[in-house]
Structure 1
Amino acid sequence: MIKIADLITPERIACDIQVTSKKRGLEVLSDMVAGSDSALPANAIFDKLISREKLGSTGLGHGVALPHARMDGNDTATAAFIRTSEAIDFDAFDNEPVDLLFALVVPEHFTDEHLQILARLAEMFSDQPLCRRLRDANDADAMYELLRDWEAAQGST
């Protein structure tokens, strides 16, 4: 089982990013994922994330979104996480604006792994006390530690 903490680094986490739209949030996340892996250009990541959003919003509700895509050209799963300075409209099913966005990009062949990671992320971000702590965190390192510690507390199943 892939660990969430292995998908992300403090360098791919950002606090209080100023974005005013879903599109801009996805652009920022695409740039962050691409910055970690030159095999994946940011514009290709963005196109995949936008295509996925057209199928239905990845807004989970309670201010959280999990944009995700499968792509050729990479051999590992990679993620980026931002907290926006102001919540943005993300067409979430509960109609609440979103301020926590966790993007996941996995290799095209990661069918089962993709679903397992998304299920784990959905479980993580349904933990409202965790989300409150993420919203209160001072910096990317603190946010990374919260994600890593949450997963460690759950045990690797």
Structure 2
Amino acid sequence: MDLSTLLSPDCTRCAVAGSSKKKVLELIGQLAAPRLSGTTSFDVFESLLNRERLGSTGIGLGVAIPHGRLGTANKPVAVLLTLEEPIDFDAIDNQPVDIIFALLVPEEEHEQHLQTLAAVAQRLNEKSCTRGLRDAKSDQELYTLFTDKDCP
């Protein structure tokens, strides 16, 4: 899967100061909304928050993949963040999270949503990839590493 079709450099942030899950979800809304015509940052935030209420998207090993569906979205959009300091995300392993990949998809794209989540989870389960993402020194380096088909 070509992740550069979902993730753009302007939705990639390295070493973000995120003090809580809520603040991070708000930032994701601010970054994603301009790429989703007819969608506000609050719409994105609410979609992600509603999904989190069903159960945490913290998949373990310091990684979370918050995701949501939006009736107003016309295409899938992703946001990638690394955090300056790990935060509590209610992850399944009870460990704090410092890598966050958020995915927002149109309401009707169920199968694409699941395939994309699986591909991202597989990539973020590779220790060499997450190590490289954690070591990134800039937004551009983070973007390049993640979208590289051979993520280190």
For normalisation by structure 1, the TM-score amounts to: 0.92
Q: Percent identity?
A: 38
Q: CA deviation at 1:19?
A: 1.2
Report the structure, 1 or 2, having the larger strand content.
Answer: 2
Could you tell me which runs of 5 or more consecutive residues in structure 1 were left unpaired when the two chains were aligned: none
Alignment partner of 1:90 is 2:89: yes
- Any idea what SS the aligned residue of 1:74 has? coil
Report the structure, 1 or 2, having the larger helix content.
Answer: 1
Q: CA deviation at 1:39?
A: 1.7
- Any idea what SS the aligned residue of 1:23 has? helix
Separation (CA, whole Å) in 2 of partners of 1:18 and 1:144: 18
**CA contact 2:58–2:90 (8 Å) conserved in 1:** yes
Alignment partner of 1:153 is 2:139: no
- Any idea what SS the aligned residue of 2:84 has? strand
Separation (CA, whole Å) in 2 of partners of 1:95 and 1:121: 21
- Any idea what SS the aligned residue of 2:23 has? helix
1:99 maps to which residue? Answer: 98
Q: CA deviation at 1:47?
A: 0.5
**CA contact 2:37–2:73 (8 Å) conserved in 1:** no
2:141 maps to which residue? Answer: 142
**CA contact 2:36–2:75 (8 Å) conserved in 1:** no
RMSD value, Cα: 1.2
1:3 maps to which residue? Answer: 2
Greater shift, 31-40 or 19-28, is seen at 31-40
Residue correspondences, number: 151
Q: Please give the residue correspondences for 1:38-49 in structure 2 after superposition, counting only pairs within 5 Å.
A: 38-49=37-48
- Displaced runs of 4+ in structure 1, greater than 2 A? 35-38
- Any idea what SS the aligned residue of 1:143 has? helix
Q: Deviations over 1:74-99 (max 9, x none)?
A: 11100111111110000001001001
For normalisation by structure 2, the TM-score amounts to: 0.95
